[in-house]
Amino acid sequence: MKKLNGKFFRQANIAIVSTFIILSSCTPKAGSSKNDTGEVQDSTNLQAEEPAKAEVLDTLAYNQKLLALANGDTTGRWPVKSKVYPLPGAILPFKRVVAYYGNLYSKNMGILGEYPPAEVWKRLNEEVAAWTKADSTTPVQPAIHYIAAVAQGIPMKDGSYTMRMPESQIDSALSIAKMGNAIVFLDLQVGHSNVQQEVPRLEKYLKKPQVNLGIDPEFSMKDGSKPGRKIGTMNADDINFCSEYLAKVVKENNLPPKILIVHRFTQGMIRNYQDIKLRPEVQIVMNMDGWGEPVLKRSTYKLYIRKEPVQFTGFKLFYKNDLKKAPHVMLTPDDLLKLQPQPIYIQYQ
pLDDT tens-digit map of 43-88: 333 444 454 444 799 999 999 999 999 999 999 999 999 999 999 9
Within 10 Å of residue 349's Cβ, how many Cβ atoms?
Answer: 24
Confidence of residue 11 (pLDDT cuts 50, 70, 90): very low
- Predicted local confidence at residue 18, as pLDDT: 36
Burial of 171 (0-12, 13-18, 19+ CB in 10 A): middle
- Predicted local confidence at residue 55, as pLDDT: 73
pLDDT tens-digit map of 229-243: 999 999 999 999 999
DSSP character for 241? Answer: H
27, pLDDT greater than 50: no
Whole-number Å distance between alpha carbons of 222 and 72 = 38
Measured CA distances, 20 to 16, 82, 108, 144 (Å): 11, 46, 15, 20
Higher pLDDT, 1 or 331: 331
274, pLDDT greater than 50: yes
Q: Indicate the residue type of 327.
A: P
Whole-number Å distance between alpha carbons of 273 and 308 = 7
- Predicted local confidence at residue 116, as pLDDT: 95
Domains of the chain: 94-348 (3.20.20)
CA dihedral of 204, 250, 308, 275, whole degrees rounded to 10: 100
| Whole-prediction pTM | 0.85
Whole-number Å distance between alpha carbons of 38 and 118 = 8
